[in-house]
Amino acid sequence: MLYYVSGPVTVLEPGLAVVDCNGVGYGCRVTAYTAGQLKLDQRARLYITESIREDAFDLYGFISKEEQRCFDLLTSVNGVGPKAAMAILSAGGPQNFTLAVMTGDEKLLTAAQGVGKRIAQRIILELKDKVGGSAMELDFSGPTVSAPVQQGGGAALATAALQELGYSPAEISTALKGVDPKASTEEMVRYALRAMVMKG
């Protein structure tokens, strides 16, 4: 089983990246999100999900474990194949996918080519608990989450979504300072992500 491939990127085309690993070129199907973070002739590490069928052996490469996890979750949904999963992640990356599922936003999912309303609803229904359901039971009242906005339902959902993306409670608390308590969950997450990007 391939866990990841690491080496210089020798071919970079829409939907495809070839990584040279000691003279062997591994062709990996990639999302637009991953491709946008790769550069030709520069080293990269792609986490691999293998898809083996009778007529094909495909490697799907992801720039982060978070994106790979989103892909694996998507393909676990009945009716969602690798092609649709890659289209969804290409349309908005793992952050927007997680946000769409957490907030039940069908439009973010149907923006992907080949994904209709029925499939989008199924994705939200089947993955909502897996993406952020358990996070809703976390204690948000700890010392590192001190902003008053954390007490609201929208803020709790936003915090859960941001934790799913790998941010710590301290980072989330800082990023959400100043956010409008009446803002929607989606607006809060976008506000926090912008704050973290600007800080970084």
Quick one: residue 24, left, alpha or beta (phi over 0 = left, psi -120 to 50 = alpha)? beta
Query: CATH for 65-132?
Result: 1.10.150.20
Amino acid 132: pLDDT:
54
Q: How far apart are CA 75 and CA 80, in angstroms?
A: 5
Helix (H), strand (E) at residue 33 = helix 32-35
Query: At residue 25, does pLDDT exceed 80?
Result: yes
150-196 pLDDT, tens per residue?
345 677 777 877 776 777 888 888 888 888 888 887 788 878 877 77
Give the architecture (CATH level 2) of 4-62: Beta Barrel (2.40)
Amino acid 13: pLDDT:
92
Amino acid 146: pLDDT:
34
Q: How far apart are CA 93 and CA 121, in angstroms?
A: 19
What are 8's strand-pairing partners? 43
Place of tokens 């973010």: 108
77-134 pLDDT, tens per residue?
999 999 999 999 998 788 889 888 988 888 889 988 889 999 999 999 999 888 754 3
Q: Which of 79, 99, 102 is nearest to 89 (CA)?
A: 99
Where in the chain are the domains? 4-62, 65-132, 138-199
